[in-house]
Structure 1
């Protein structure tokens, strides 16, 4: 059955989701959900992710999705039913028949779940191949098995209609080009893993995709492996006596872009045995600062994390050329810049589903004596 399923992912939509307000559910009700894709009953246990959960009903389940970073009770709901089943579902609630057989992906982050599940054959449409690293996906594009559907705000609706996917993964927090798409009748389902505030919470969205594809068992096993490795690494630095301070971001257009102290990145640094320079900031999303504010808080920080798409060889001279003041940071002077070039590494395409690998990279930087033999995969100290 799995070999017959393909999936379509898009990154944004408005006005087409079944949305309601309700009181928050207790954690116990989030931990178990019945699989309705077959005769057997499989369990999906959610331990870290805050953005999705299931409610079981007679003959169908309701998939609930919310923004993990918002306290609002607004949620998006979909009735999940076995393919071809004549099940009565709530009026007006979008229905998704399981298992999903085809989908379109708007972002590389969405692709990461399909890659980790070995289900790239389900992806029939994507928006861009500019930084496509996965060889299997690239071959599917070259062979026409996966089509390019244009970019957000300028979709090729004829291509989308010809694909007629079972599902489109989207983000309801953006707008662009969905007026025509929403009338086709294709379920548009938010994939909000990128808004989770912990590395394991983000990685657990593999269960979200696995559920829709009828691959719960594969998703559960893969996540268990990720979780065990991540927590094992985390425990290695639990008793470290020295916790270096790290800051993140760069100036762009005169504004320094960073993230708050309750963010995914701040949690990753903490788990790797370091302190984020904004660890006391209560925000979970993006933070914009001026240079003086960053300098006052990070001038003496031990490390500086940067991830960008730089054409050519990135080095300290190139960094200084962007802004002379960068050279005043201690992390610059001591050559303690932690760097990932997204032109060369599958930063969004694979990293979200491999938090244990990213954690190992960070531990290797902050506490090299703990993982002396680890070979960096995504992040490494900028040498030149």
Structure 2
């Protein structure tokens, strides 16, 4: 009996050890599984999408190009088990969505997903007519506070969204309190960092990000390719302009005693370069914008040929009344000041910040029409207008 017991004990341990070893091998195989890029990106650097055996992922990166969020995407009712760490699991295609910014409205509309949009924060600022129609007939609910200061958390929860498209508040000088609260409530947030991209086409390529979530990758790629083709054709119009013939320009205006000037690697600076102009603050490093002292801006800006994005002033009288020193600016003397408010709503919403993200070719066309009118004739400005 002792021999039999010893025999079976050894046999049991041997079989158990084999099974344990097999489990380790399976686990190791899953851990070492190499993902495949599921989306071919040409310009965008702030997100990546990968395909695994049983699921997909989208990774979003912060301003330092480090992983900020990873989303696990799966089809069907059963969420797959995996050793891969992720922040939010999402069943795709998304069916019930909420947007915290008008910037995502055009992407959603272009991919025919407006009817899946159930809530909006700041719906009065939306320009898209298809979305406006659903807001007016009650299909899209306002989930912002009455004073526009934030979100209505109860409203968000009641709508039971599959996903909430949001942004990193810290990029705009805000805090992440709202995002933290949504996380505590178990609301599925998707952070979109398209604003960190360094070129207009890179921002526009984020339509592929939405294409993955809606399972409309081919449609998203086709739309982007058309935009890229138009943009590149316009860019080629200015390619042969000699440096001495390029006009100079600068952007923005002072706010609270500070002038936020776009950095040399920002998407705004890229518009100037592609339109055949010299941006006077091209030496500022990085993307985004840098806070400058007002006095340091005046001397250089005074001699510029053009001034773009001059605050929210509607005419020259308002501009000059804000600071009499602007009278000496070359751009003011020559009435070469342009604002991107031609398609601005009475509510304050501006289509430039909405559809302009998806259609940078329309913005570039306006730039070239302003800076080199001989290259584009018989076309009206789409986003911009000249301050009178």
Same fold (TM over 0.5): yes
Q: Specify the TM-score bucket, using the shorter chain as the normaliser.
A: 0.7 to 0.9
Between Structure 1 and Structure 2, how many residues are aligned? 340
Structure-2 residue corresponding to 1:340? 340
Larger proportion of helix:
2
Q: Give yes or no for the alignment of 1:167 onto 2:160.
A: no
Q: CA deviation at 1:86?
A: 4.7
1:1-384 alignment, distance < 5 Å: 33-34=37-38, 44-67=39-62, 69-71=63-65, 73-90=66-83, 93=86, 94-151=88-145, 154-172=150-168, 173=170, 174-241=175-242, 242-306=245-309, 308-309=311-312, 314-341=314-341, 343-344=344-345, 345-382=350-387, 384=388
How many angstroms apart in 2 are the aligned matches of 1:179 and 1:160?
Answer: 14
Instruction: Provide closer, same or farther for how the CA distance between residues 198 and 179 of structure 1 changes in structure 2, counting only shifts above 3 A.
Output: closer
1:250, 1:153 → 2: CA distance?
A: 24
Query: Is the 1:361–1:374 contact (alpha carbons within 8 Å) kept by the matching residues of 2?
Result: no
CA distance in 2, matches of 1:46, 1:290: 38
Partner of 1:11: none
Q: Which runs of 5+ in 2 are unaligned?
A: 1-33
SS in 1 for 2:357: helix
CA offsets, 1:123-159, max 9 Å, x none?
A: 2111113322222212211211111111486422222
Aligned to 2:383, the other structure's residue is in SS state coil
SS of the aligned residue for 2:53 comes to coil
Question: How far apart are the structure 1 equivalents of 2:190 and 2:77?
Answer: 20
Distance 1:352 1:190, change over 3 A: same
Q: Deviations over 1:321-366 (max 9, x none)?
A: 1111111111111111122226345122211111000000000011
Cα distance in 1 for partners of 2:130, 2:58 equals 30
Q: Which has the larger radius of gyration?
A: 2
Structure 1 position 261, deviation (Å):
0.8
Report deviation, 1:90.
3.2
Structure 2 vs 1, CA of residues 178 and 306 (structure 1 numbering), >3 Å: closer, same or farther?
A: closer
- TM normalised by structure 2 equals 0.82
Q: Is the 8 A contact 1:301 1:330 kept in 2?
A: yes
Deviation at 1:379, TM superposition (A): 1.4
Provide the rounded CA distance (Å) in 2 between the counterparts of 1:377 and 1:90: 50
- Tell me, in whole angstroms, the C-alpha distance in 2 between the residues paired with 1:178 and 1:65: 16
Question: Tell me, what secondary structure is at the counterpart of 1:136?
Answer: helix
Greater alpha carbon shift after TM alignment, 122-131 vs 369-378? 122-131
Quick one: distance in 1 between partners of 2:192 and 2:335? 38
Match of 2:26 in 1: none
CA distance in 2, matches of 1:46, 1:155: 33
SS at match of 1:88: coil
TM-score, normalization: structure 1?
A: 0.83
1:153–1:176 CA contact under 8 A, matched in 2: no
Once the two structures are overlaid, the 10-residue window that deviates more, 351-360 or 89-98, is 89-98
Helix, strand or coil: the match of 1:351? Answer: coil
